[in-house]
Structure formats: C-alpha cells, structure tokens
C-alpha cells in the first residue's frame, strides 16, 4: 500500500523573502547556501523540522523515518560527507509512506531514480552509490549545522526550486 505524503501549502521562497524582509534582517529567517541538488517528485515542500546528526551511518535515519511524518521535514546533518549515502530508495519510499513532507541531507543520497519516483521533496549535496555503515550512532532533536547554518528542531523549512529557507516560526505570505 502506498500512502501519499501530506504536503504542506508552500508559498514560493522568493515571495516569502520579499514579504519577510524584516525577519531576514533579524536572522529569524535564514537562506541556506545554494549547494543542494533537488530530488523527489515534490520540487516545493515545507514543514516543521525534525533534526538528526549522524556521520556515515544511517540507522537513526531509518528509525526516524519509520515514525509518522505528519508533514514534517527531516533535516540530517551528515557532516557534509561525500563518501557514502545516508538516504536511498528504500528510505525515500518509507518517508513517502509515513507522511514526511521532505528530507534535507547535508550529505549524499543514492538510488536516485527510486527517490525521484517518490512523492516527497529531497535535497542533498549529491549522490553516491555506496551505502553507509550501520552502527546506530548519532543524535536526535539537537541543533545541527547544515552548510554553515545552525538549524533547530521545531523550526520550519521552506524549499522550492529557488532555494531553501529556515524560519524560527511558521510563515505565511
């Protein structure tokens, strides 16, 4: 049985920036560096953030994606490792089935064609064919550093083809 991910309404990130200039100036809304590639069927997605910090080990990624997503976005600080993938096609499908809106990986994905068939949004630094280790090491719900931006559990992520925004609170245009 395939369950379609709950997609939160997502205003264009350019419109969000234009409508929230004061929050950008104060740092309450941050724009991530344009270093992420776009994967998955949803080019635009948004939702409250759940953070995860791992390094070349995706056991906790699977554990997190096995829980109901409820339209949330999993933000994975993978230490920007380009030596293996933290998310593959099976985890992409799991995220889709469990109702996650998207996944942001400071690291790599694999099984790109499979991820691209999933109705979720995925952003990653690139793809790598090698799977990660399976030691179960990492931390959940902690501040993470993604591309030089500190992201906290419970903040909001807004992504589209223009870029990715992180906000301290839910935004509307």
Q: Is position 62 annotated in a ligand binding site? A: no
According to the model, what pLDDT value does residue 35 have?
98
Q: How far apart are CA 160 and CA 147, in angstroms?
A: 17
According to the model, what pLDDT value does residue 44 have?
96
According to the model, what pLDDT value does residue 11 have?
82
Q: Is position 140 annotated in a ligand binding site? A: no
Q: Is position 88 annotated in a ligand binding site? A: yes
Beta partners for residue 86, in sequence order? none
pTM (predicted TM-score): 0.93
Report the chain's C-alpha Rg in angstroms.
Answer: 15
Q: Which residues of the chain have pLDDT under 50?
A: 1-8
Q: Is position 116 annotated in a ligand binding site? A: no
SS3 label, residue 30? strand
Q: How many residues does the chain have?
A: 173
Q: Is position 147 annotated in a ligand binding site? A: no
Q: Yes or no: say if 160 and 12 are a contact pair by the CB < 8 Å rule.
A: yes
Note the pLDDT tens digit of each residue in 116-166: 999 999 999 999 999 999 999 999 999 999 999 999 999 999 999 999 999
According to the model, what pLDDT value does residue 88 have?
98
Q: How far apart are CA 7 and CA 44, in angstroms?
A: 9
Q: Is position 110 annotated in a ligand binding site? A: yes
Residue ranges and CATH numbers for the domains of the chain are: 34-167 (3.50.30.40)
Q: How far apart are CA 49 and CA 88, in angstroms?
A: 20
Q: How far apart are CA 146 and CA 124, in angstroms?
A: 11
According to the model, what pLDDT value does residue 4 have?
39
According to the model, what pLDDT value does residue 173 have?
59
């Amino acid at each position: 049985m395939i369950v379609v991910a709950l997609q939160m309404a997502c205003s264009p990130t350019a419109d969000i920036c234009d409508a929230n200039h004061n929050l950008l100036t104060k740092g309450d809304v941050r724009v991530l560096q344009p270093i992420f590639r776009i994967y998955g069927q949803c080019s635009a997605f948004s939702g409250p953030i759940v953070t995860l910090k791992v390094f070349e080990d995706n056991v906790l990624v699977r554990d997190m994606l096995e829980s109901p997503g409820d339209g949330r976005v999993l933000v994975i600080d993978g230490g920007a490792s380009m030596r293996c993938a933290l998310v593959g096609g099976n985890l992409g499908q799991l995220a889709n089935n469990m109702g996650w809106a998207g996944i942001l990986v400071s690291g790599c994905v694999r099984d790109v064609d499979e991820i691209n068939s999933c109705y979720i949004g995925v952003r990653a630094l690139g793809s790598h064919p090698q799977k990660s280790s399976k030691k179960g090491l990492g931390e959940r719900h902690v501040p993470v550093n993604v591309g030089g931006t500190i992201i906290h559990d419970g903040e909001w992520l807004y992504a589209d083809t223009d870029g990715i925004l992180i906000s301290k609170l839910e935004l509307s245009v």
